């Protein structure tokens, strides 16, 4: 099988490439190497797998001609390339639109014209559900929780795109579903929650789990906005890749569907009231932080209802946050050279 991965040198992309290469598949990475850690991830893949089944194309999804020249022969497209930060989208909404909305449109059009039988997985986001300010939130000692959604937010919850990032990713989400309806493309949308794991070079406004771990290991400052009791569901990257595999295997019966893919209620953590003590235990010392005001639109809670994915994909998460974060911490601590300038 030939797997074409946009953003394949990124965190999720390189882990996906590693997985499929290990299984003996051919992988084509299409990436502009603009993200911190991209070249290091690509070098890691070459070291592990060589070049016989791995091809790298230095390309940008905004370049439609380059996409059409590259995508032919792909049996699977994992569309992971994107602009990933809400803050960056507010600062530069045009670039955010061109990468996330136009870039996704380019990928879909390239598939439609040059690889129409290809299975396409689009990495969407839980941000398509907006601020969800009308939801009743209950307060507990170390966390916030939903008062009325014991299983989390399901796919029937109204879409409500907030911020340029929400609009651009939501546009790609809807285009991907509609190309299955209108053109018969074999597409799936995964609305992903907080994904974490090895080879993630997190920064303050994106990839917070890895950012906190890297900061703790390298003695960098950590800023907590709000009171630290905000809750997120966490999904280890290995579990996400298993979901990709299930989606590919069932693409013909599920094409055009959208799934929430996250840790669900069993895999949650408050961002500092609970994560802070876990990190301190691993570091063997208290981790100092700076506190700031709540940021606009920051959700007190996001937990994905993943029951539909469990039923229709035959999938569920295996890696707990405690296990996965320890694994991430050990990787960061064992590779200090990777974080000297990140």
Residues noted as catalytic: 165
Helices (H) and strands (E) in the chain, counts: 13, 15
- Biggest alpha carbon–alpha carbon distance for the chain: 56
Q: How many CB atoms are closer than 10 A to CB 322?
A: 12
Q: Which of 266, 272, 202, 278 is nearest to 234 (CA)?
A: 266
Q: How far is CA 156 from the centre of its chain?
A: 21
Q: What is the DSSP letter of 313?
A: H
Put the strands of the sheet holding 119-125 in their side by side order. Answer: 54-58, 26-31, 2-6, 76-79, 119-125, 186-192, 257-261
> Quick one: which of 151, 237, 144 has its CA closest to 192?
237
φ, ψ for residue 289, nearest 5 deg? -135, 160
Q: Judge contact between 94 and 22, C-beta under 8 A.
A: no
40 — phi, psi (to 5°)? -65, -40
Q: What is the pairing mode between strands 186-192 and 26-31?
A: unpaired
Cα–Cα–Cα angle for 123, 129, 133, rounded to 5 degrees: 150
């Amino acid at each position: 099988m030939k797997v074409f991965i946009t953003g394949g040198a990124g965190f999720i992309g390189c882990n996906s490439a590693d997985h499929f290469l290990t299984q003996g598949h051919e992988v084509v990475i299409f990436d502009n190497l603009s993200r911190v850690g991209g070249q290091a991830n690509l070098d890691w893949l070459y070291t592990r797998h060589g070049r016989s089944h791995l091809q790298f194309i230095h390309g940008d999804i905004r370049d439609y001609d380059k996409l059409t020249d590259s995508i032919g022969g792909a049996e699977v497209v994992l569309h992971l390339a994107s602009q990933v930060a809400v803050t960056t989208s507010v600062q530069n909404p045009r670039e955010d639109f061109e990468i996330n909305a136009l870039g996704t449109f380019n990928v879909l059009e390239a598939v439609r014209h040059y690889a129409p039988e290809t299975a396409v997985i689009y990495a969407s986001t839980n941000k398509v559900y907006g601020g969800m300010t009308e939801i009743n939130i209950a307060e507990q000692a170390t966390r916030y929780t939903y008062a009325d959604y014991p299983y989390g937010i399901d796919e029937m919850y109204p879409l409500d795109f907030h911020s340029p990032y929400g609009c651009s990713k939501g546009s790609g989400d809807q285009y991907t579903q509609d190309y299955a309806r209108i053109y018969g493309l074999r597409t799936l949308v995964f609305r992903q929650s907080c994904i974490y794991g090895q080879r993630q070079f997190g920064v303050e406004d994106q990839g917070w789990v890895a950012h906190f771990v890297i900061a703790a290991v390298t003695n960098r400052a950590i800023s907590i906005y709000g009171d630290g009791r905000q809750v997120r569901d966490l999904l280890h990257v290995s579990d996400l890749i298993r979901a990709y595999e299930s989606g590919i295997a069932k693409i013909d019966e599920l094409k055009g569907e959208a799934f929430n893919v996250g840790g669900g209620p069993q895999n949650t953590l408050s961002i500092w009231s609970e994560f802070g003590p876990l990190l301190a235990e691993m570091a063997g010392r208290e981790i100092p932080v700076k506190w700031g005001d709540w940021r606009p639109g920051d959700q007190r809670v996001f937990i994905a209802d993943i029951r539909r994915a469990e039923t229709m994909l035959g999938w569920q998460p295996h890696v707990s946050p405690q296990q996965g974060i320890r694994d991430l911490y050990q990787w960061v601590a064992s590779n200090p050279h990777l974080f000297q300038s990140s």
